[in-house]
Amino acid sequence: MTRPPLLAFFGHHKCASTWIHNIVDAVCVDAGWRRDYLYGEHLFKGDLAAHVAANKLDWISYVNADAKHLARLPALRGFHIVRDPRDLVVSAYFSHRNSHPTHAWPELIPHRETLTRLDKREGLLAEIEFSGQFLVQMDSWDYGRPDVLELKQEQFTKDPYRGFLEVFRFLGVLDESHYNKARWLPYLLRSALNITNLKSSGLQPLRLPFDSIPGERLLGVIYDNRFEKFSEGRDKGKENVKSHYRKGAGGDWVNHFEPVHVEAFKRRWNSLVLKLGYESSPDWSLPTSNAPAASARR
pLDDT of amino acid 298:
44
pLDDT of amino acid 120:
97
Mean pLDDT of 160-178: 96
For the chain, give the percent of residues with pLDDT over 70. Answer: 87
Report pLDDT digits (tens) over 251-277: 899 999 999 999 999 999 999 999 999
DSSP 8-state secondary structure symbol assigned to residue 172: T
Mean pLDDT of 206-221: 93
Mean pLDDT of 127-148: 97
Backbone angles phi, psi at 291, to 5 degrees: -60, -50
Burial of 200 (0-12, 13-18, 19+ CB in 10 A): exposed
Cα–Cα distance, 31 to 218 (Å, whole number): 11
pLDDT of amino acid 198:
72
How many angstroms separate the Cα of 246 from the Cα of each of 98, 128, 189, 234, 259?
Answer: 10, 19, 38, 9, 24
pLDDT of amino acid 246:
47
Average pLDDT, the chain: 90
- Regarding the domain delimited by 6-296, which CATH topology (the fold level of the hierarchy) does it fall under? Rossmann fold (3.40.50)
Mean pLDDT of 14-33: 94
3-class secondary structure, 170: helix
Backbone angles phi, psi at 243, to 5 degrees: -95, 145
**pTM beyond cutoff 0.95:** no
End-to-end C-alpha distance for the chain, whole angstroms: 58
Out of 5-19, 40-54, 119-133, 217-231, least confident range:
217-231
pLDDT of amino acid 88:
97
Q: Say if residues 234 and 242 touch (Cβ distance below 8 Å).
A: no
